[in-house]
Amino acid sequence: MNKNVEQKLSVLGGRKVRPEVLADMRKRIFDTDGRPLTPSPFTTPQTAPVRSPFYVGGITVGMLAIVLVFLSSNSLQSDYMLTKGELALNRRADIRSEIALTYLDSVTKRAQQDGMTADEARYLQNAIALSADELDRLKLMGEPGRYTMQECKDLYTRFDSQLDSIKVKLATETETPALVSTIDRNLAHVKERIALYPEKAGL
Amino acid sequence: MTEHLEMRLSKAYEDHAEELFRFAFYKVDTKDLAEDLVAEAFLQLWQKMQHEDIGNHRALLYTILRGRIIDHYRSRGRRINLTLEDAEDVVFEDSTEERLDEALDHARVLKHVHMLKDEYAEIILLHYVQDLSFSELSIILNETENNLRVRAHRALTKLKKKLS
């Protein structure tokens, strides 16, 4: 039995990978002239804060935003400032998108608690716009060392389902035409992006 | 000098990319992620090659890749769906019906490998699947060959029990 298991494991190790997979991977390492690509200086977390002025600036803005949160009494505003602070501290598109989507989720939950006020509608509209902006920075094919094509698609799908869910909940609200229009516009855009995947990415 | 190094990297890619991809794919179960991790390993090797003379590319690539996979698990959580058979068509050749049946059987074995403790699963993949010798494993895992032999034997026995 042991021998049989060993044989199966050995066959697993001998399976031939499709040449197109290897060719695709090669493109992530070598340029068209066959020269190795230069790895991003920000790939390793240790180098990022030292080399990027944006990052250093981001830390300052982030700290300032956190201080402002403590000074602010409005919790919607606090959440917004905190999110802006977190965004300022991160430069990776995938992490920024996750932060924005988490913020959208929290604003949505708050707005749904006991009827939506005009203020909540405004913040929700801002949160959608913020998420859309951040997701626009993502590269459909992913970025080596940061996020994959699949993870990018997952973020778009998450945004899509969040918008769908907000839209369903808004059916009971009457005073939110601007919000509905923002949702519709973004829904169309995100669905277009998701639709690109089967053709471009084989997903 | 640079051209010489580029040729060495290219040769290392020709020699090891396939096995490294297979190892990464068996570990993370996602084609794109496996491609990313292997690409990162080669780019990191390239950086190292420019500063030091690397004797054993294969062992170093496995060491880097293994570290990248662990980093990935730490940052994103371990999300192995174990749906290997779904990816067969896009990853491996020979997807004829007969080979597919065989592949499904092997995928079942692999699922049981993932159910073992990490240290056992890893040695099964590295030694029995990837065919790395104990001396190479000793470099990659920084442990004595004797320890690794004992662990490999225990891991295989546990896998056999799970499969029976």
Question: What's the pLDDT band for B33 if we cut at 50, 70, 90?
Answer: confident
Centre a 10 Å sphere on the Cβ of residue A122 and count the other Cβ atoms it contains.
15
Beta bridge partners of A30: A36
CB contact under 8 A, B93 and A10: no
Instruction: Please give the Cα distance from B32 to A4 (Å, whole number).
Output: 31
Q: Which pLDDT does position B64 carry in this prediction?
A: 93
Question: What's the pLDDT band for A72 if we cut at 50, 70, 90?
Answer: low
CB contact under 8 A, A39 and B94: no
Residue A46 pLDDT > 50, yes or no? no
Q: Which residues of chain B have a CB within 8 Å of the CB of A11?
A: 102, 106
Residue B91 pLDDT > 80, yes or no? no
- For residue B6, the distance in angstroms to the closest alpha carbon of chain A comes to 7
Residue B82 three-state SS? coil
The 3-state secondary structure of A58-83 reads HHHHHHHHHHHHHHCCCHHHHHHHHH
CA–chain centroid gap for A12, Å, is: 35
Q: Which pLDDT does position B153 carry in this prediction?
A: 95
CB contact under 8 A, B36 and A145: yes
Question: What's the pLDDT band for B23 if we cut at 50, 70, 90?
Answer: very high
For testing the chain A interface, which of B25, B26, B43, B98 should be mutated: the one with the most A CBs within 10 Å? Answer: B43
In terms of Cα–Cα distance, which of A49, A5, A37 is closest to B42? A37
User: Quick one: which H or E segment has residue B148?
Assistant: helix B145-163
For chain B, the average pLDDT equals 84
Instruction: Please give the Cα distance from A192 to A197 (Å, whole number).
Output: 9
Q: Which residues of chain A have a CB within 8 Å of the CB of B30?
A: 148, 150
Instruction: Please give the Cα distance from B42 to B13 (Å, whole number).
Output: 8
Residue A41 phi, psi dihedral angles, 5° rounding = -65, -15
Could you give the angle at the alpha carbon of B55 between the alpha carbons of B53 and B60, nearest 5°?
100
Beta bridge partners of B92: A17
Interval A123-145 mean pLDDT: 84
Q: Which pLDDT does position B29 carry in this prediction?
A: 77
DSSP classification of residue A140: T
Interval A109-131 mean pLDDT: 81
Question: What's the pLDDT band for A165 if we cut at 50, 70, 90?
Answer: confident
Residue of A nearest to B65 (CA): A145
CB contact under 8 A, A2 and B44: no
Q: Which residues of chain B have a CB within 8 Å of the CB of A2?
A: 156-157, 160
CB contact under 8 A, A25 and B31: no
For chain A, the average pLDDT equals 76
CB contact under 8 A, B43 and A142: no
- For residue B4, the distance in angstroms to the closest alpha carbon of chain A comes to 11
In terms of Cα–Cα distance, which of A108, A83, A113, A109 is closest to A179? A108
Predicted model pTM = 0.56
The region of weakest confidence among A17-21, A32-36, B20-24, B89-93 is B89-93
The 3-state secondary structure of chain B reads CHHHHHHHHHHHHHHHHHHHHHHHHHHHCCHHHHHHHHHHHHHHHHHHHCCCCCCCHHHHHHHHHHHHHHHHHHHHCCCCCCCHHHHHHHHECCCCHHHHHHHHHHHHHHHHHHHCCHHHHHHHHHHHHCCCCHHHHHHHHCCCHHHHHHHHHHHHHHHHHHHC
Q: Which residues of chain A have a CB within 8 Å of the CB of B113?
A: 9
Q: Which pLDDT does position A49 carry in this prediction?
A: 34
Interval B9-29 mean pLDDT: 92
Instruction: Please give the Cα distance from A176 to A179 (Å, whole number).
Output: 5
* Residue A74 to residues A71, A78, A86, A87, B62, Cα–Cα distance (Å): 9, 6, 18, 20, 52
User: Quick one: which H or E segment has residue B49?
Assistant: helix B31-49
In terms of Cα–Cα distance, which of A22, A12, A57 is closest to B23? A12
Instruction: Please give the Cα distance from B75 to A10 (Å, whole number).
Output: 31
CB contact under 8 A, A29 and B43: yes
Residue A133 pLDDT > 80, yes or no? yes
Question: What's the pLDDT band for B51 if we cut at 50, 70, 90?
Answer: confident
Interval A75-83 mean pLDDT: 81
